Structure 1
Amino acid sequence: MQKAEAVYPDESQKKICDQYGMPVQEPEEMVALATDSLGQSPIYGTRVQLPEGGSITWFIHCGEYSTADEFYKPVHVHHLSEMLPEVVNYLCLPTGAKFIIDNAGYEDVWLEA
């Protein structure tokens, strides 16, 4: 049986954008995820301008940031629902958006000036 593809944006993603007064922007197929940081808290997400010839705008890590060369790894957006489901509702935030969430209910979302 084939897994159903996610639809962007869904109602939860629209709600987050509306809550913070931001336009909806569909995510690219790939994100940069610090897979070695999974399980740590809080979770940070930053959406950058799509670089020329690039395919990733979202950079997501948990816990402490690292400058290590291999800190981020490309991950297909559909795998996030299994790997880090907490971030899926934020994927339709626009370029320049950042978020911090934790497992105690903390949430901060803003646009980088």
Structure 2
Amino acid sequence: MEEEQRNLCKRYGAGFTAPEETYKVGVSDSALRGELPLHGLRHWPESGTTGWFIWACEWSDAPDFFKPLHLYHLVEDCPTVVPFLALPPGWRFMVAPGHEDVWSDSDLLDS
């Protein structure tokens, strides 16, 4: 898994910044159900979180849209996102069948 993450970071010119497996991510039920496309964005980690928010389809501002989940659960519950999780804070991804997009978004570092 780490080699795949390192290769992805290198391919996009991003620093390798693997989060702690015991830290939490915010993940939507739609992502856990395997809906597509999958989106992810990473803020600065804080207070036992990775900074990652992962969702499928459309974003929602509903207060219960993101559920806290330990990172290590994603290996089974949402394995498609695992290669992207070593991207550093300030990065985003979107993945769907036959499509992968990864980009830096400095606005994420301001919040």
- Deviations along 1:67-105, one digit per CA (max 9) or x if unpaired, are 111000111111101111000000100000000001x22
For residues 87 and 36 of structure 1, what CA distance do their matches in structure 2 show? 13
Q: How does 1:1-113 map to 2 (within 5 A)?
A: 10-28=2-20, 29-37=23-31, 38-51=33-46, 53=47, 55-102=49-96, 104-113=97-106
Considering fraction of residues, name the structure with more helix.
2
More strand by share: 2
TM-score (norm 1): 0.84
Structure 2 letter corresponding to 1:41? L
2: CA distance, partners of 1:64 / 1:98: 15
SS of residue matched to 1:73: strand
Of the structure 1 ranges 36-45 and 61-70, higher mean CA displacement relative to structure 2 is found in: 36-45
Structure 2: stretches of 5+ with no match in the other structure: 107-111
Instruction: List runs of 5+ in structure 1 lacking aligned partners.
Output: 1-8
| RMSD of aligned alpha carbons | 1.5
Identity of aligned residues (%): 38
4+ aligned runs moved over 4 Å, structure 1:
none
Q: Please, what TM-score do these two structures have when normalized by structure 2?
A: 0.85
Which of structures 1 and 2 has the bigger CA Rg? 1
